[in-house]
Amino acid sequence: MMHFISVQDLKVQEILAIFRRTDTLKKKPIQPLLKDKNLAMVFQKPSTRTRVSFEVAMNHLGGHALYLNSHDLQMGRGETIADTARVLSRYADAIMARVFSHKDVVELAARSGVPVINGLSDLLHPCQALSDMYTIHEKLGRLRGLKLAYTGNARNNVTHSLCHACSKLGMNMSVTCPPKHAPDKAVLRDSMANAKATRTVLEVTPDPKKALKGADIVYTDTWFSMGNRPSRIEENALKPYQLNSSLLRHAKRGALVMHCLPAHRGQEITDDVMDGPQSIVWDQAGNRLHVQKGLLSLLV
Ligand code: CP
Ligand code: NVA
């Protein structure tokens, strides 16, 4: 594995190796595995978790992270992604990038001489899904055979990476959304092929009750990606998919509630569910740090 652009690019063995390394680093957080290494972090969009977890991860591993806001780079004045990649990879040992357009992170990886990590694009959020799989395994002791239900706007970077991850790792996944907000076709095609190989079910249904039936985990994310504003019509279409206590009752008793955060409380998720006893969102966010370390220490 040279870059980490998509969960779909990883072999199951590579994912499990990241989890094993994460376990070790979670038990003993400070280890100089990346002493004097530098991670350049390019952000075209805001971030709390991704930025801070990568930066602290590099510090814990004995290295250093540089926060580079794209507006402050010459990229903000039109220097191309390809030229930026060629230069940054001569200074830093790895690049992490959060971009608007997925093709930008692909281009960055193609032109970079050092590993590139996708810190979120419009299409995928692989670091989030990797960390979420780790969290589910930590909480429930296994992945294979579990069912994750995703409710909300499923044309979403997190949903897409979860489709890749669940289907690769042997988890059943039921996505429920209005037909207009269904996952990307290519992501579904790849994930369906994974699901066939792992003999799991990946389904998309407009019926939230059906999707949540028997679910061990119920997941939601913002209805609209950072910077996008939904129309009133779109918001109304998404309302039946809000993760609230009456919908949650359709999942297994005690099903775990997950959200990648930031949450829009009262929109895709209600306060009582987010702050309720089934919610694991804070441990989920916390694990971003540990999994980032597992990933960085194997990739860089
Ligand atoms: N979940 C996540 O990636 O959060 P940030 O946008 O705060 O990085
Ligand atoms: N789907 C969300 C994820 C935020 C971490 C977004 O793109 O804004």
Q: Give all domains of the chain, ordered by start, each with its CATH number.
A: 7-125+288-299 (3.40.50.1370), 127-284 (3.40.50.1370)
- One digit per residue, the tens of pLDDT, for the chain of length 300 reads 799 999 999 999 999 999 999 999 999 999 999 999 999 999 999 999 999 999 999 999 999 999 999 999 999 899 999 999 999 999 999 999 999 999 999 999 999 999 999 999 999 999 999 999 999 999 999 999 999 999 999 999 999 999 999 999 999 999 999 999 999 999 999 999 999 999 999 999 999 999 999 999 999 999 999 888 889 999 999 999 999 999 999 999 999 999 999 999 999 999 999 999 999 999 999 999 999 999 999 999
Atom of ligand 2 nearest to the CA of 156: 1
d(CA 258, CA 276): 11
- Give the tokens for residue 188: 């579904």
- Ligand 1 mean position, distance from CA 77 (Å): 26
> Choosing from 127, 163, 166, 260, which is the catalytic residue?
260
Question: What stretches of 89-223 adopt beta strand conformation (E)?
Answer: 94-98, 116-118, 147-151, 172-176, 202-205, 217-220
What spatial distance separates the first Cα and last Cα of the chain, rounded to whole Å? 10
Q: How far is CA 63 from CA 2, 25, 32, 284, in A?
A: 19, 15, 8, 24
Atom of ligand 2 nearest to the CA of 227: 8
Q: Is 47 in the pocket of ligand 1 (CB under 6 A)?
A: yes
